[in-house]
């Protein structure tokens, strides 16, 4: 345990030192937005009219419920709030890593704390994870909540509760409502929706004017408040399209068509992968293969946390949904792609399959570097046309890699796991009826 903690501390110290000791107007700027939102609640000021101090001038873009949760951070100094938020982000990262690499961590036995520490250290250096610290974002908390809600074997809370809270904090986890529906997890859907509605109505009761201003005003402004849609950091489909097509009906139409195609294919793959996980878990429970659950109208919604390969496929289905929340959103910033952590974990599994491990390693190396920003530099004027072309592709690289991950998890990984699991296990062969049974 001590060794695991030491590895994490050694790995994250350069990241924390860089951003917590950067220029005051360049460190944890999003935390400042949340904190100013909490101060606006305490002062009774309008939540959606203020801007943070220059040069950022950032507005509050979250539902009022999120501002209520930020109030405790107004009761401490700005420095204490920064350190507290940073520690909480890394605690959430540890939770996310546990769910992402559960099978691999368990396989290491008594060395599990050290394994966890090494994996947390590796995940902390991914570019989206570094940006979570740089901006003081909430994405790591949402990631941990959604993974815990969807992947815990026997949760002590009503399944869907954490997704509902995440949805009340930020709208993008709403894709999990679709996931619950298409995989037959209707109780989780009801719990998530009810939790989000109760939290939102509670915020309406406390902040009626701000709630009305958000749901009927600030929310409809979309990209005008969240930032430049065509900016490099927007790796959603909308951002990729915006960097190719000038603003206008053609851009909107292209985005809608591509988003619908990706949504249809992505949710289909999420359902296929999750149903395969349910089938494997059910087969383990019934003692055989081929129960036919994948062909039914809905997944069986069995406990997919057990059974050979079932957890990897469950994690893959949840991760595909999380990646869709980034790709389909009007703005999906680079730091939102912390969903690549469970994508890597689903590919690696328990570490026994070399090809799966190599694919996970490739994604990890790919997301270590700020490739979109390098591409933005190469795609600028002053470079030859061929360099600008490849620079433009590199500028969209994280979004394109997320699409590749969706396809890889939903097809190659699912086929590979089900094929391997479907093979006869020599250690589990049924005993043939012999002379003693006659």
Q: What is the pLDDT along the chain (438 residues), one digit of tens a residue?
A: 999 999 999 999 999 999 998 887 778 999 999 999 999 999 999 999 888 888 888 999 999 999 999 999 999 999 999 999 999 999 999 999 999 999 999 999 999 999 999 999 999 999 999 999 999 999 999 999 999 999 998 999 999 999 999 999 999 999 999 999 999 999 999 999 999 999 999 999 999 999 999 998 777 665 556 668 999 999 999 999 999 999 999 999 999 999 999 999 999 999 999 999 999 987 444 333 333 333 344 565 444 445 568 999 999 999 999 999 999 999 999 999 999 999 999 999 999 999 999 999 999 999 999 999 999 999 887 889 899 999 999 999 999 999 999 999 999 999 999 987 766 444 444 444 443 443
Question: What is residue 437's predicted lDDT score, i.e. its pLDDT?
Answer: 40
- Helix ranges (H only) for 207-328 are 208-213, 219-221, 223-226, 237-242, 249-286, 310-327
Which residue from 317, 288, 289, 287 is spatially nearest to 301, judged by alpha carbons?
317
Whether 47 and 71 have beta carbons less than 8 Å apart is answered as: no
Q: What is the DSSP letter of 283?
A: H
Quote the CA–CA distance of 238 and 218 in Å, as a whole number: 20
In sequence order, the β-bridge partners of residue 333 are 234
| DSSP three-state, residue 333 | strand
Q: Structure tokens of 189?
A: 């859907």
Domain ranges of the chain: 227-421
Q: How far apart are the first and last CA of the chain?
A: 57
Question: What is residue 434's predicted lDDT score, i.e. its pLDDT?
Answer: 43
Question: What is residue 403's predicted lDDT score, i.e. its pLDDT?
Answer: 98
Which residue from 65, 366, 108 is spatially nearest to 197, judged by alpha carbons?
65
* Run of H or E residues at 202: helix 186-206
Calculate the CA 106 to chain-centre distance. Answer: 22
Which residue from 94, 87, 101, 157 is spatially nearest to 319, judged by alpha carbons?
101
Q: How many residues in the chain?
A: 438
Q: What is the pTM of this model?
A: 0.91
Q: Count CB atoms within 10 A of the CB of residue 369.
A: 12
Quote the CA–CA distance of 73 and 78 in Å, as a whole number: 8
Q: Structure tokens of 155?
A: 């949760």
In sequence order, the β-bridge partners of residue 234 are 333
Quote the CA–CA distance of 166 and 142 in Å, as a whole number: 6
Quote the CA–CA distance of 12 and 16 in Å, as a whole number: 6
Q: Count CB atoms within 10 A of the CB of residue 3.
A: 12
| CB neighbour list of residue 341: distance below 8 Å, 6 or more residues apart | 93, 96, 97, 100, 123, 126, 129, 143
Q: Is 204 exposed, middle or buried (0-12, 13-18, 19+ CB in 10 A)?
A: middle
Q: Which residue has the tokens 């400042």?
A: 32
Quote the CA–CA distance of 413 and 304 in Å, as a whole number: 16
Question: What is residue 130's predicted lDDT score, i.e. its pLDDT?
Answer: 97
Q: Count CB atoms within 10 A of the CB of residue 345.
A: 28
Question: What is residue 103's predicted lDDT score, i.e. its pLDDT?
Answer: 96
| CB neighbour list of residue 53: distance below 8 Å, 6 or more residues apart | 25, 32
């Amino acid at each position: 345990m001590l060794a695991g903690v030491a590895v994490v501390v050694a790995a994250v110290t350069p990241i924390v030192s860089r951003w917590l000791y950067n220029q005051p107007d360049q460190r944890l700027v999003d935390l400042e937005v949340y904190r100013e939102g909490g101060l606006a609640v305490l002062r009774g000021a309008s939540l959606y009219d203020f801007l943070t101090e220059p040069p950022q001038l950032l507005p509050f873009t979250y539902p009022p419920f999120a501002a209520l949760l930020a109030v405790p951070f107004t009761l401490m100094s700005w420095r204490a709030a920064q350190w507290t938020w940073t520690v909480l982000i890394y605690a959430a990262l540890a939770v996310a890593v546990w769910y992402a690499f559960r099978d691999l961590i368990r396989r290491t036995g008594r060395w599990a704390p050290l394994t966890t520490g090494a994996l947390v250290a590796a995940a902390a250096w991914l570019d989206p994870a570094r940006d979570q610290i740089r901006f003081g974002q909430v994405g790591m908390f949402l990631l941990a909540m959604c993974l815990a809600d969807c992947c815990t074997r026997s949760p002590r809370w009503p399944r869907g509760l954490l997704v509902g809270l995440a949805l009340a904090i930020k709208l993008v986890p709403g894709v999990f409502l679709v996931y619950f529906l298409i995989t037959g997890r209707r109780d989780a859907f009801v719990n998530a929706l009810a939790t989000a509605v109760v939290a939102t109505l509670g915020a309406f009761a406390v902040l009626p004017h701000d709630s009305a201003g958000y749901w009927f005003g600030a929310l409809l402004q979309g990209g005008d408040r969240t930032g430049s849609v065509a900016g490099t950091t927007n790796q959603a489909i909308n951002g990729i399209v915006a960097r190719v097509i000038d603003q206008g009906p053609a851009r909107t139409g292209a985005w809608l068509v591509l988003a619908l195609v990706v949504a249809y294919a992505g949710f289909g793959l999420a359902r296929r992968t999750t149903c395969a996980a349910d089938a494997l878990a059910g087969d383990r429970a019934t003692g055989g293969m081929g129960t036919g659950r994948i062909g039914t109208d809905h997944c069986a919604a069995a406990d997919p946390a057990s059974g050979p390969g079932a957890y990897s496929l469950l994690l893959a289905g949840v991760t595909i949904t999380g990646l869709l929340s980034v790709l389909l959103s009007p703005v999906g910033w680079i730091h939102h792609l912390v969903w690549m952590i469970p994508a890597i974990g689903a590919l690696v599994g328990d570490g026994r399959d070399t090809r799966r491990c190599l694919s996970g390693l490739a994604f990890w190396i790919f997301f270590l570097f700020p490739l979109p920003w390098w591409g933005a530099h190469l795609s600028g004027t002053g470079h030859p046309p061929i360099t600008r072309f490849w620079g433009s592709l590199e500028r969209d690289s994280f979004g394109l890699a997320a699409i590749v991950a969706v396809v890889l998890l939903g097809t190659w990984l699912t086929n590979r796991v089900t094929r391997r699991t479907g093979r006869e296990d020599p250690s589990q062969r049924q005993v043939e009826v012999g002379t003693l049974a006659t």
